[in-house]
Amino acid sequence: MATLNTISSRAALETVGFSQQWPPSPCTKRSWTRASKRDVWQSFNHGEYCGAFIVQIWQYGKWMDVIVDDRLPTINGELVYLSSASKNEFWSAIIEKAYAKLNGSYEALRGGSITEALCDFTGGICETYDLGEHGFRTSSVPDDLFKITAKAFKRGAVGGASLEFEGSGVESRAQGGLIAGHAYSVQNALTLSNGTKLICLRNPWGQAEWNGAYSDGSSQWVEVADEVSQLTGGRLRSKNDGEFWMEFEDFLTWFSKLELCSIPESIGNEEEAHANWVTQLCEGRWTRNISAGGCTNFMTSRPGFPDNPQFPMGLVDVDEDDETKCTAIISLIQADANRRRDNKDLLTIGFIVYKLTGENIQQEPLDVRWFRSHRSVGRSDFSNSREVTKRLLLDPGNYVIVPCTFQPQEESAFVLRIFTEKKQDFRNELSAQTSIDEDDSDRPITQENEEAFYRHFQNISGRDLAISAWELQNVLNRVVERCYRMDDAFSIETCRALVAAGDPGCIGKLGYDDFRRVWIGVRKWLEIFIKFDKDKSGKFDVYELRSALRHAGMNLSTTALKVVVHRYANEERVVSLTDFVLVAVRLKQAIIRYKRLQPDMSIDQWLLLIIYS
């Protein structure tokens, strides 16, 4: 069985049937073309070919192996969908079949975008620049777009371009010999010694080229042909093969959209590995009532914007061609693998970037007061697309990225990726921060009540002067019923946990000193519960739980909070008094062990290991 992942090829692809653009023409270059025989389990010799292939496609942070056979859909002996110019070349159709299988059907590929295809076939980050309608330029084009484009191709990028105008259809004729409603691949961008800025494109048809300045055979080539040939390694051709050059100013005027795909370091050109982007990938999830806080319009909602996952980004080394700034290309993908298969609508997503000031370098989760007093330094557009991307030029320093949906309480997994020119300091989500003490001696029983408390202990403990979990449950429920009007507040599971936490000798019971410490701790958690139960419901929602734990010195990250809620909340994601005390006791014990043992893992990983079991 042969493995097809992405390789280098210049096969001219033709789209037929439903006029699908899968894969689009930029993929005819280096974007999805490594079709190598890495792990070849079969040969094409007679008797050894089994007719099956493994195609590797990038999906939501991972390369997926998709197994397909070589049975391709045809009508009258002709391929129905994607085909190569060469009649005995089928790798493009095989990869298309694998992509259709991954997405559920060929029909699911209709209406796809260039950026999605480039992302899935390269694992890269795609940026889209709107240039305006065919024949007109928009004022929103970045002043340094040519610099961005030329630099991108030096770093192994692939790209696409298209044009449209009012009334244009699919693949209709436009000015200058161009085709509207059609995908071109962008091949290169360079500056000549006379200052002329050129861009190279290719029509996947292998014909129908630009006929303006710097087109094949134009007089402008007389003086610059040798220089361009040298800059491109001798690849300059002057024939009707679909490839053509044009001035970048003309490109901005006549094309409507430019799409660039930056290639990660892991799959870039090995000969130019130093030039590829350094990448960081983080996975997360927006969860209802926990971490689906919506955008900044919902700063104080429950949950609100501060409850979204928060990811730190440290920029240290400036770009090679900039003495003061660092380039960061940030991408957010909503990772719903069944979106096409189930015809599901996309969420409106985006992200916002803040710079951390000196007092926040400890990188703990930021609260509403911090966000209200700090302005963002960058943000993406909010769009109901699979991926949103933003290129930022930032000063060296520490930042936090907050990915979010536009509306709160919308659930989805997501993948956050960051491309930088140099290796920087990245960590996954901001970790839990704790400031708890190992004992609660700051909350003693008053001296006047000490004797009465001891007599009460003697009455409930019996002759052995020790209290079991069942006896502890009985006394706690009586106290809570009398003082707080709560019936059967403490479960036996919580009382067992209290006994275990206060029983260093492992005898299964609490002596007087142990019981005294446990009671002081329980009293503390009771008071915190009453204080933060704002609606007096006798239960905590997730927002109240997070606030109460923060007050107790346990500032949980979104990941840690999610672990706690999944483990201890009910199906409505609310936490009762007994479960709150159970959470507090187990969190405290887990944090104490973490500080003592100092394991080689983050506090969030430790809490997942200890709590979620």
Mind telling me the catalytic residues?
A: 182, 203
For 47, counting Cβ atoms within 10 Å of its Cβ (0-12 exposed, 13-18 middle, 19+ buried), the class is exposed
CB atoms within 10 A of CB 322: 11
Distance CA 44, CA 46 (A): 6
Could you tell me how many helices (H) and strands (E) the chain has, helices first? 15, 28
At residue 519's C-alpha, the angle toward residues 591 and 516, to 5°, is: 100
Residues 6+ apart with CB under 8 A from 338: 344
Residue 175, Cβ density class (10 Å: 0-12 exposed, 13-18 middle, ≥19 buried)? middle
Helix ranges (DSSP H) in 413-508: 447-461, 469-484, 492-501
468: which residues sit within 8 A by CB, 6+ positions away? 499, 508, 509
User: How many Å apart are CA 121 and CA 160, to the nearest integer?
Assistant: 14
Instruction: Report the interhelical angle of 542-551 vs 558-568 (nearest 10°).
Output: 120
> 426 near 316, Cβ under 8 Å?
no
Main-chain phi, psi angles of 159, to 5 degrees:
-155, 170
Q: Give the helix/strand (H/E) hosting 202.
A: strand 197-202
**Other beta carbons less than 10 A from residue 136's beta carbon:** 12
Q: Is the peptide bond before 309 cis (omega within 30 degrees of 0)?
A: no
Residue 145, number of CB atoms within 10 A of its CB: 17
Residues 40 and 75: their CA atoms lie apart, in Å, by: 31
d(CA 42, CA 197): 48
Q: Measure the CA–CA gap between 30 and 34, rounded to whole angstroms.
A: 7
Collapsed DSSP state (helix, strand, coil) of residue 39:
coil
| DSSP state at residue 297 | G
Strands 2-4 and 52-59, bridge-based pairing: parallel
Find the Cα–Cα–Cα–Cα dihedral 391, 395, 397, 400, rounded to 10°.
-30
Query: CB–CB of 412/334 below 8 Å?
Result: yes
- Whether the upstream peptide bond of residue 365 has omega within 30° of 0, thus cis, is no
